[in-house]
A and B are shown apart, each in its own frame.
Chain A
């Protein structure tokens, strides 16, 4: 068994990037995720794997650096926190429109505005419903442990290249800052330029005489061509919903009530489920791992056995809308959330749950 090392979720992201063959990291400091770039700069991967690490002048620049790197089919990533992600939304729209793979990590803090540096989950809409302009989606992965922070880096790149799309790790300040044991996976080498040319013939690697020029763009002034491009994107999103929904079910098999929670709130709600079970209440936990594509079908499947569902979030109720859409009015969907960076205890969630079900 591989060695387990105690580290922050943010540090796990950095180590995972180096070890999964990431080619470039471009970022701008912001709390609570600065350890990602700090760890990379300390590790100096350019001397080992050849990975490029660069501190950009802004989040606007870092996301556009990803556009350049992704245009070359390099595995490129950035990390930031909520206000930084708002600045990146322009770039994300271009990346999605130009069908470019990349990884963006958002260690969410409380908003809106400068908000707080305490944890939040208020960027769910921004992450899952587009954020930037136009009809686009991203693969959104929600880790709830330091190990998942590590593992989802490789997974996000895999999905990003499978669908030629930006992928996001939507973490939160708790998952980014908390220290847990992390097991390192075997090293994956970076792709060589020859491998990239072979695997991704669309990449801008320099026009050789044996092929036509490669152009990376999201522009199509001809309406018919532009609609076709949009339909291509929509087809991809449908394929993601069919093939790449990920979730974890805890005590859902016999459940009469289910809490839906992701990230740090899923960890907290695990204890709430224990409390309810000890009191003889059949409560389960559904933890969406992919927030897009959302596990709507699993919720749909569970509804007939349930009396209520409850979405628990560090927001005013964002994922709640997707839960309600999946439930489609068949049973009550309750909500419990805290704002301002306050993270509720399992007991607080349990009390809120009991109140909603009238116990």
Chain B
């Protein structure tokens, strides 16, 4: 049997959503970004909202998200995506507006913007990739870097005395009256990825219902930054990251 005999429409069990472009991703093998991109793309396709969705990309590894999701994008300054999304959503209330931000972007330089967008209860979706490191700039300490974790700017391991504490910003944002749905997920297994997709779908649906801000953190791997193989990075994440950043819904109203 030839390969051409197998590749037939009736044998097809999976197809890439057209919302995901065919551009080769610049992400490292094993990185969680690609999986999360795919999940967002699938949600957009399944909800039929490609023409109604505007994404706001961050500064960081996901700065090029616009190369991979075939929707309109605004590339924001570092940390400012929630402010950019606020105006876009208020001027286009019928659109679905989401930000896609890493931990440096959202939990360090952009804390004021995310805090106030969430507190105002902007009807936007926030996808927060927490891999506890600055990937794009070469593996420096992030606000979410764990105690003891070695990075380019904490080469002997993060200490509270020298670097301060890792920030659980998701728990903080769940305290705000403006957030309606705050959840922490991961994409390290097929089951986890399916749960994350469900969370993203719910977040997008919430924004149409004008319930407030929906916030989906995805605890992610950065195996290049962590200097681990993709498989080892997943194991390390489960053993260490999930302790500080436990998976599950934090708020749902």
Contacts and interface: CB of A to CB of B under 8 A. Distances in A.
Interface of A: 23-24, 26, 52, 54, 56-58, 60-62, 64-69, 71-72, 74, 76, 90-91, 94, 98, 193, 204-209, 213-219
A68 B72 contact: no
Contact of B116 (A57, A205, A219): A57
Contacts, number: 124
A60 B77 CA distance: 10
B70 A213 contact: yes
A196 to B, nearest CB: 10
B136 to A, nearest CB: 11
Given A94-B77, A204-B54, A64 B63 contact: no
Interface in B3-53: 50-53
Interface of B: 50-54, 56, 63, 66, 70-77, 80, 83-88, 90-92, 95, 112-113, 115-116
A65 B84 contact: yes
A24 B116 CA distance: 18
Contact of A67 (B53, B71, B77, B112): B77
Contacts of A60: 80, 83, 112-113
A205 B88 CA distance: 9
A208 B50 CA distance: 7
Nearest to B69: A213
A52 B50 CA distance: 25
Of residues B53, B66, B76, B87, which shows the largest number of chain A Cβ atoms within 10 Å of its Cβ? B87
B116 A217 contact: no
The 7 closest A-B pairs by CB, nearest first: A68-B87, A217-B75, A68-B84, A65-B87, A64-B83, A204-B72, A64-B80
B53 A206 contact: yes
Q: Which of A71, A218, A219 has most B Cβ within 10 Å?
A: A71
Given A58-B112, A213-B66, A207 B71 contact: yes
Contacts of B85: 68
Given A24-B90, A204-B54, A217-B66, A64 B72 contact: no
A140 to B, nearest CB: 22
A58 B95 CA distance: 25
Contacts of A216: 73-75
B86 A215 contact: no
A71 B84 contact: yes
A71 B90 contact: no
Nearest to B71: A207
Nearest to B119: A57
A64 B88 contact: no
